[in-house]
Amino acid sequence: MSVDQVLMAESFVVHGRDEGGPFVLVSDHAGRAIPPELGDLGLSAQERARHIGWDIGIDGVGRKLADRLPAVLIEQVYSRLVIDCNRAPGHPTSIVQVTDGTTVPRNQNISAQDRTWREQTILHPYHARIRQELDAHVAAGRQTVVVALHSFTPSMHGKQRPWHAGLLHNHDSRLARIMIALLQKDGLVVGDNEPYALTDTSDYTIPVHGEQRELPHIEIEIRQDLIADDAGQTEWANRLARLLPQAWQQFCEQYGENA
């Protein structure tokens, strides 16, 4: 059984441990599994392994980071080609038909039943688990910071992307701006709403769990060639384990812990 056909009891895996810190890590695109009911989606193994199927390298970064902070990491195990957990249900790119030049045969003209099944099996349980974690933090009166981890492909439509990492933000940019400055101090080229901008509709996880709940949040994208191997993943996990607490401390000093 290959890595993308492993049978999961749940649509998510929880890594790391809670030792009272503020961070809750989430990773919408960490996995590349496909439910057996959907076969291989009509795609070759090479296509399924591309960046269109998952955020390459972010699984290693997330798990190491969860270990180092420490913090709980809720990681989606299914490929974004099955259903994109960073899109609202029913969004035009929730279940992509064509992505970066690749047509996904099993996603063409899918029935309402198929769509609902994917939402109920994969999307909703994952977000319910995130909500449960955040509810527990908030109910305990704890500081809570949602950290969404992503990675992006180094070149898109023939254009090289210069950023080492990018911070995506929209309604509350305070923590993102602090994190951008800290990463720049590390000598990195940091995208400010690059390579993507956070909007109410193009994203789902941070709008729902961060913005709507008014919880401080970070959405970070790391360039995939920097975290393709274990050494790169370790380097970035160490960097984020050092900078996230610094960013949060600065935030509290500037805005107060309950800002």
55 binds Zn ion (CB under 5 A): yes
Question: Residue 66 burial (CB < 10 Å; 0-12/13-18/19+)?
Answer: buried
Among 136, 131, 150, 130, residue whose Cα is nearest residue 198: 150
Q: Is 29 in the site for Zn ion (CB under 5 A)?
A: yes
- Rounded to the nearest angstrom, the gap between the alpha carbon of residue 174 and the centroid of all alpha carbons in its chain is 19
Task: Rule CB under 5 A: say whether 217 interacts with Zn ion.
Answer: no
Q: Which is nearer to Zn ion, 152 or 251 (CB)?
A: 152
Beta carbon of residue 10, minimum distance to Zn ion (angstroms, whole number): 20
- The count of residues interacting with Zn ion (CB under 5 A) is 3
Residues 81-110 that bind Zn ion (CB under 5 A): none
Residues in region 129-188 near Zn ion by CB under 5 A: 150
Taken as a whole, the chain contains a residue count of 259
Closest to Zn ion by CB, 148 vs 251, is 148
Nearer to Zn ion, 18 or 194 (CB): 194
* Minimum CB distance to Zn ion, residue 148 (Å): 8
Give the residue with the Cβ less far from Zn ion, 21 or 60.
60
Q: Which of the ranges 24-32, 62-70, 90-98, 205-213 carries the binding residues for Zn ion, by CB under 5 A? A: 24-32
The closest residue (CB) to Zn ion is 150
Tell me which residue of 175, 172, 161, 154 sits closest to 57, measured CA to CA: 154
At closest approach, how far in Å is the CB of 246 from Zn ion?
Answer: 24
Considering the complex, what minimum distance in angstroms separates the CB of residue 149 from Zn ion?
8
DSSP 5: S
Which span (27-35, 41-49, 65-73, 200-208) binds Zn ion, by CB under 5 A? 27-35
**Residues with Cβ < 8 Å from 151, sequence gap 6 or more?**
29, 51, 55, 56, 57, 58, 61, 221, 222, 223, 224, 227
Nearer Cβ to Zn ion, position 150 or 161? 150
Which of 259, 77, 93 has its CA nearest to residue 172?
A: 259
Alpha carbon distance 237, 11 (integer Å):
24
Q: Are the C-beta atoms of residues 19 and 74 closer than 8 Å to each other?
A: no
Query: Which residues form the interface with Zn ion (CB under 5 A)?
Result: 29, 55, 150
